[in-house]
Amino acid sequence: MHGASKDAINYCASVLFNEINSVTDNPTIFPEEDLIISAGNFHGQPLALPLDFMALALSELGSISERRTYLLISGQRGLPLYLVSNPGLNSGMMIPQYTAASIVSQNKQLCMPASADSIVSSNGQEDHVSMGANAATKLLRVVNNLQTILAIELLNAAQGIEFRKPLKSSIKLEKLFADFRKVVPPLSNDRILHTDIKLSEKFLEELNIEEYL
């Protein structure tokens, strides 16, 4: 499933690369020939469609991530409910999973393709517009939402590891876990987890993945 999203991301990147390096200005100017050609090569549809596709691909990554988070807090595989020692007295990681679930639902709503819409403008001269700008701003929201969803999964995964001690994972994952713990402390009793989520997001932003491969 991740592979399908990666294929979609690679496809969208190739289209963006081609479009960035193509002649789309209007007019097109050829100074050596002292020639200006107004050809109307400016329509946004080549970018609008991939931007909508990218939103769908990234939304899928977030949807899968949230399901992993749910399984971590559901009391399976020897882990306590909500990943906290006293789940009856503490909510533990329940609210972050709620947060991830709500953001996933918003991403699903944002997957409605902007490029499916078109509104006539400029007194009928622009009879079919791509809505590519809307697709781009919508995609940005999906990207930012995905970062929060992944940060919540990382927060839960790290908390789950606390209950596996003294067992250890691979050297690379242990390094990642140790570095994360320098930023976000483990959860023993309920506290406001908004700060933890934001710190987890910052950790992902600054993460150099090459260090852990």
CATH number for the domain that contains residue 59: 1.20.200.10
Cα dihedral 145, 150, 156, 160, rounded to 10, equals 170
Determine the structural domain holding residue 169 and report its residue range: 45-212
Residue 165 lies in a domain: yes
CA 177 from centroid of its chain's CA atoms: 21
Residue 4 lies in a domain: no
Residue 27 reports pLDDT greater than 90: no
pLDDT single digits (tens) 147-170: 999 999 999 999 999 999 999 999
Specify the residue for token string 């100074």: 31
Residue 73 lies in a domain: yes
Specify the residue for token string 């679930």: 101
Residue spans of beta strands (DSSP E) within the chain: 28-30, 35-37
pLDDT of residue 41: 65
Per the model's pLDDT, the better-predicted residue between 53 and 127 turns out to be: 53
Report, as an integer, the average pLDDT of 102-114: 97
Residue 131 lies in a domain: yes
| Mean pLDDT across the chain | 93
Report, as an integer, the average pLDDT of 2-9: 96
Per the model's pLDDT, the better-predicted residue between 211 and 66 turns out to be: 66
Residue 15 lies in a domain: no
State pTM to two decimals: 0.89
What total of structural domains would you count in the chain?
1
Distance CA 58, CA 61 (A): 5
pLDDT of residue 40: 65
pLDDT of residue 88: 82
To the nearest 10 degrees (0 to 180), the angle between helices 94-110 and 45-73 is 160
pLDDT of residue 44: 87
Residue 160 lies in a domain: yes
What are the structure tokens assigned to 196, written together? 């933890």
Residue 40 lies in a domain: no
pLDDT single digits (tens) 34-81: 998 877 667 889 999 999 999 999 999 999 999 999 999 999 999 999
Per the model's pLDDT, the better-predicted residue between 6 and 120 turns out to be: 6
Residue 129 lies in a domain: yes
